[in-house]
Every structure is written in C-alpha cells, then in structure tokens.
Amino acid sequence: MDDAPRVYDLAVTFGVLRSGEGMLAVDDAQQRVLAEVPVLESERIALDEAHGRVLREEIHAPFDVPEGDNTAMDGYAVRAEDAPGTLRVIDDVPAGSIARERVERGTAIRIMTGALMPDGADAVAQVEITDAGSEMVNVFKSLTSGANIRRRGEDMRAGDVVIESGTPIRAAELAVLASVQKSRVDVGRRPTVAILSTGDELIGIDEPRTPGKVVNSNAWALAALVREAGAIPRPLGIVRDTREATIAAIESALESDFVLSSGGVSVGAYDFVKDALDALGAETKFWQVAMKPGKPVVLSRLRSKLYFGLPGNPVSSMVSFLLFVAPSIRKAMGQTKNVLPPIANTRVMSALKGAGERRVYYRVRVVARDGELVAYPKTAQGSGTLTSMLDANGLAIVEAGVARIEAGAVVGTVIIGAVLAE
Ligand code: AMP
Ligand code: MG
C-alpha cells in the first residue's frame, strides 16, 4: 500500500492515467454505475409474455386463497371425536364439488384433496388410516380437530400484498399471478442495448480468415448476455479503428437505451473510444477499474444514455458485462433487490495468485459436494482465452493486496451460473 502513490505518479508520467483519475475499486465502480442507471417506464402486458420481466405493480390478493377450508388429503371428512370408529358414508365429494349432506355424529363423507370441507366435519381421516369402505368406513386411528384441513386464506388473505413491485417474474410469481387471475400485469420495459465491436482486426463469422484477422466473438457473447439479463440486444456490427468511424458508430447507437462497445478502451495507439466520447461531449465517469481481467472499463453518460466501453479481450468483456452491465439492466427494468450477482464462499481446489492493486476474478467451475461449494479453477486464465469461460459458473475472488491463496482455502466467489452437483 505504501508504494501506491509512487505507482500512480509513474502512471501519470507515462500517460496511463489522466490526472485526478485512478483505478476505481470494483465495488465503488458498481455503485457509481447503478447510481447512473434510470429505471425505465413500465408497460401493461399479457401474463403470457411476462416470464423474465420485472413486476411494476404491487399485487394484492383480491380474495382468500384457498377460498374456503378444504381437505389436504384424500379420505373422509369426519368429526374428530368419532375417530377411531366405524362410520356411515353418506356422501361422496370429488375436488371441485360441494357436499350435499352435513356430517353428523357417526357419519363420514368421502372427500378428495382440494374439495371444500362439508359442514359439521372438523377433520379428515386420510384414506391410509381407514379401510377405504364405501357404505361404511372403519377409521383406525384417532384424529385431532383440524387434522388434514387447509384453512381458508392460509395461502393468501384478501387484501394482503402477495408480490411486491420490483420482483422478477419467474415460475412461482407466474403461478401466484395466475391464481389471483391477473391476466395482464404492469412490467418494466425491456431495455434495448446497442453492441458495437471495435477493431480493425475483426471479421464476421462468414468472412474469409486472412492472417492477423480475428473473428468477432464478443458480439455473440454480449448479445447472449444481454438477452439473459432480460434486455434486447441490437448488434450494430464492426467499427473500424478510426476516430471518425468510432464517433459515427456511437452516434448511430444512441437510439438504444444502453450502448456497449468492446475494445478500443486501452492505451493503445488505435484505441479511439475515449477520444470519440470526448468529441461527442460525453461525461466520462470512470475508465479504469482495479480488476483482472478487465481493467479498462469506461462508463460515460452521453445525451441521457449510458455508455459502457468494455475491454476487447473476450473474457474481460464478459466479466465486466456480468459485474456492471447485467446489474444495470436489472435496475433499468425495475428490479429493486439483489441486482448485483451473488457472492458465496467456495473452497478452491488449487492455489491462486494475486495481482497487486487489482482484484482478480478467477474463472472456476463451482460444484456442490458434501454440503459445501467447491471451486475448480480453470487451468487457462488468460483474458483472451475464450475456452476458459466454457462451463465456468463462478469467479473466485483474490482481493487486491493479497499475494496468494492456498489450495483448500475458502474465498468469496461471484456466482455467474447455476451450481450443479458434482
Ligand atoms: P483492444 O481492447 O481493442 O486492444 O482488444 C484487445 C484484444 O481483444 C485484442 O486481442 C483483440 O483482437 C481482441 N478483441 C477485441 N474485440 C474483439 C471481438 N469483438 N471479438 C473477439 N476478440 C476481440
Ligand atoms: Mg482494438
């Protein structure tokens, strides 16, 4: 830490930093980004379309669910005080029907799961504790009053808030919305996200490969990540490494809600993104984050739009997307909680090295084993090694200033994909 100012001065001398700007810690950068993200307007859509959207209204239960006391079991509605005993079966009630008779002392009504409780009964003898008789039934065990009954309003009470605004709509939310008959819901609009791929070396997937050329893979990865976050990707193609082309491309991208570019944000002679943003009058919030991979990351505000200049290296662009852009998309859609990716402790299975002032994110495969999360670092960790992201579902953290983590140690790990059994 002592030599930090000296490193900083050297960096300024070499033009790596503009004065007054340093590398921002990842957590600070995330907070700066989220503070800039506007919540987009909502729209009313059919429930059919709502999966993956963020709910933008508070949902109240309009009626009790269940609407009346009903049986949790297939069996016989009885008076608890009659069990055990032999009872006369006086009616039969499938789910969705209503009993015609009342349960009196010494009688039972055959009843199926979900059917409303008949009057007079205060318990259900599940079929397993009876002889399943149809004229007469033997109940072999005693029952307490209320046994096997689901109470009216046990799930939702009329007027209760059952889902808060700002909640992502997944299977369970869809089920609750359907059960309260919300056939149309207010949800956040999906943001559009322009994707620019800067680089003279880039070619499209169908173009002939000539020496020195690199296939534009970032556009594919970023478009998929945009979609996974719930937004609409607008891939705008390859941008040549000139100031003019970069300016024109950025201008053409500004009709989208967010603009992403990959590449052109380092300190190379052909990195024009920062210059182009300056020329367009953008307000640059930061342009370097203390992380590896992915140090050069630009955040700018340009004509009310947010611009993310992501690094060109394929792994760096994906990692910086996951840490900065995906949370922004969630916030823009109206998600109010948990917009940042979760961090869980994992036990790393090989040693990890630190990188001085930068926090390192190691790609790992996290599995659940013997009740804990275990992380296998991928053998290749280069920021240009695309295959190192294959089946990586975690980013194990080595904090800035930590020289080395030994195999078997427990470290915070950003969870970026589903964790499976080993
Ligand atoms: P840059 O940040 O522009 O210096 O790019 C850093 C590295 O990332 C270079 O090796 C580029 O070839 C590579 N790169 C940049 N953009 C892309 C892209 N769209 N697809 C694949 N690789 C890229
Ligand atoms: Mg480049």
Element (H, E) at 137: strand 136-139
How confident is the model at residue 173, as a pLDDT? 98
Does ligand 1 lie within 6 Å of residue 266's CB atom? yes
Tokens matching residue 98: 């209503």
pTM of the predicted model over 0.85? yes
How far apart are alpha carbons 350 and 374 in whole angstroms?
11
Which ligand minimizes its atom distance to the CA of 214? 1
What integer best gives the mean pLDDT of the chain? Answer: 94
- What band does 268 get if pLDDT is binned at 50, 70 and 90? confident
Q: How far are the Cα atoms of 248, 301, 306, 316 from residue 271, in angstroms, in the given order?
A: 15, 19, 19, 16
User: Locate tokens 């505000």: which residue?
Assistant: 301
- Please determine, for residue 3, whether its predicted confidence score (pLDDT) is greater than 50: no
Query: DSSP secondary structure string, 289-317?
Result: BSEES--EEEEEEETTEEEEEE-SSHHHH
How confident is the model at residue 267, as a pLDDT? 86
Contact yes or no for 411/340 (Cβ under 8 A) = no
How far apart are alpha carbons 200 and 345 in whole angstroms?
41
DSSP tag of 323: I
- Please determine, for residue 237, whether its predicted confidence score (pLDDT) is greater than 50: yes
φ/ψ bin of 7: left (φ > 0), alpha (ψ from -120 to 50), beta (otherwise):
alpha
Residue of 357, 253, 361, 358 lying closest to 308 (CA atoms): 253
- What band does 95 get if pLDDT is binned at 50, 70 and 90? confident
pLDDT tens-digit series, residues 352-387: 999 999 999 999 999 999 999 999 999 999 999 999
Query: What distance in angstroms lies between residue 22's CA and the mean position of ligand 1's atoms?
Result: 23
pLDDT tens-digit series, residues 188-228: 999 999 999 999 999 999 999 999 999 999 999 999 999 99
Query: Which residue did the predictor score with more confidence, 187 or 266?
Result: 187
Q: Is the dihedral of CA 400, 404, 410, 413 positive or negative?
A: positive
How confident is the model at residue 22, as a pLDDT? 76
How confident is the model at residue 280, as a pLDDT? 97
Give the mutation target among 200, 218, 225, 272 for probing the ligand 1 site: most ligand atoms within 8 A of CB. Answer: 218
Does ligand 1 lie within 6 Å of residue 218's CB atom? yes
How far apart are alpha carbons 109 and 100 in whole angstroms?
10
How far apart are alpha carbons 110 and 10 in whole angstroms?
85
Beta strands in 151-267 (DSSP E): 161-163, 184-188, 192-198, 202-203, 214-215, 232-239, 258-262
Query: What distance in angstroms lies between residue 200's CA and the mean position of ligand 1's atoms?
Result: 9
How confident is the model at residue 16, as a pLDDT? 44
Q: For residue 203, report the phi and psi dihedrals to the nearest 5 degrees.
A: -130, 160
How far apart are alpha carbons 415 and 398 in whole angstroms?
15
Of ligand 1's atoms, which has the minimum distance to the CA of residue 262? 16
Mean pLDDT of 300-326: 97
Does ligand 1 lie within 6 Å of residue 385's CB atom? no
pLDDT tens-digit series, residues 5-53: 444 444 433 344 443 357 999 999 999 999 999 999 999 999 999 999 9
How confident is the model at residue 18, as a pLDDT? 44
Q: Are strands 305-310 and 352-353 parallel, antiparallel or unpaired?
A: unpaired
- Please determine, for residue 276, whether its predicted confidence score (pLDDT) is greater than 80: yes
Long-range contacts of the stretch 29-34 (C-beta < 8 A, 24+): 29/286, 29/289, 29/297, 29/299, 29/324, 30/323, 30/324, 30/327, 30/340, 32/285, 32/286, 32/299, 33/285, 33/299, 33/306, 33/324, 33/327, 33/328, 34/327, 34/328, 34/331, 34/339
How confident is the model at residue 104, as a pLDDT? 97
pLDDT tens-digit series, residues 109-158: 999 999 999 999 999 999 999 999 999 999 999 999 999 999 999 999 99
How confident is the model at residue 21, as a pLDDT? 53
Query: What distance in angstroms lies between residue 37's CA and the mean position of ligand 1's atoms?
Result: 27
